[in-house]
A = this chain, B = another copy of it.
Amino acid sequence: MAQDFTLACPLPITQRKTVVMGHGSGGRLTAQLIHDVFLPAFDNEYLRRLDDQAVFDIAGARIAFTTDSFVVTPIFFPGGDIGKLAVHGTVNDLAMSGARPLYLSSAFIMEEGLPLEELGRVTASMAEAATAAGVTIATGDTKVVNRGSADKLFITTSGVGLVPAGVNISASNARPGDAILLSGTIGDHGMAVMSVRENLEFEGAIVSDTAPLNRLVEAMLAAGEIHALRDPTRGGLATSLCEMAEASGVGVEIEAASIPVSDPVRAACEILGLDPLFVANEGKLVAFVAPESADAVLEAMRRTPEGSGAALIGHAVAAHERLVLLKTEIGGTRILDLPFSEQLPRIC
């Protein structure tokens, strides 16, 4: 088994010649594409950190900057829509650096024939989400492509925020001993989209958890010392933990029994043969917190609406560096690894 552990890092170049769906999964194929194509081309200190945002100084201001394209299908789903997702996704990527999200841009790629009524619902939803999160959509762009050259609507949001003095949060800053806190149940977003996409019977019982996490992060920062934060979107909680273990060079041990999963999500995952650990979330975060701060931060999380279901799910350890171990509910141990490709394509 020992040599398998090295596979926690991205695989070397394969002989693949074209882009496949898995390259957008957030899993091993995405990591491979980043390592083989984007990092060599654009190589710089910001990209090398492999965080979901860059942080740099401009004229003395410490600025966080992030971007994400949203291609979810369908564009409306239980609990949200592509516009709300785009605003929350960018707000959350900024918040994961400890930044206060301030300004967003939104670029629309529309397919000819998109009903204007649907576009209006999406923009209204984005406006509502921006107001709720306290950010301003300050600039944008619109492009239209011929029928059949896009799938209704793609939205790319970027954002800038201000990192407060003294805050230094990165996926690479986790340390052995850190408590691992999760802000609530997992798998809700992915299963909500699946339910409507596949017309499954549990439709309605499961709604996306899409939510802005900046106020939760503010409460956490005020309560204690946060080392690393990530919102487990594509690839789910397992992928985020693998990436953070890899980036920080720590081992991770989590307990399955401590990880909150709602009954409908658990049931839906069982029916579809999916593992909720790998299903996308859009309103949850996982945090590596200094051990002496763990209790205070967990309490602070639970006092916020977005963190009311927060739980301690495990610890970072010095042993089995870069490896994520799950203690199962029946007492076994399972290695969690980046998924090769995706369980659910176009989930965000």
Contacts and interface: CB of A to CB of B under 8 A. Distances in A.
Interface of A: 16-25, 30, 33-34, 37-38, 41-42, 44, 46-47, 51-54, 56, 58-63, 65-71, 73, 102-103, 105-117, 119-120, 123-124, 126-127, 130, 136-146, 148-151, 154, 156, 158, 160, 162, 345-346
A65 B160 contact: yes
A336 to B, nearest CB: 22
Given A56-B103, A136-B46, A160-B63, A30 B126 contact: no
Contact of A123 (B18, B42, B54, B103): B42
| 10 tightest A-B CB contacts, nearest first | A24-B144, A158-B158, A54-B138, A67-B105, A156-B156, A59-B61, A41-B123, A46-B138, A149-B151, A61-B61
A34 to B, nearest CB: 7
24 contacts: A17-B117, A18-B114, A19-B114, A20-B144, A30-B142, A33-B142, A34-B142, A38-B142, A41-B123, A42-B126, A44-B136, A44-B137, A47-B137, A47-B138, A65-B103, A65-B138, A67-B140, A67-B141, A68-B141, A69-B108, A146-B151, A146-B345, A150-B151, A156-B156
B44 A138 contact: yes
A16 B114 CA distance: 11
A122 to B, nearest CB: 9
A63 B136 CA distance: 14
B19 A139 contact: no
A156 B107 contact: yes
A143 B114 CA distance: 21
A136 B108 CA distance: 24
B116 A37 contact: yes
Contact of A112 (B20, B42, B137): B20
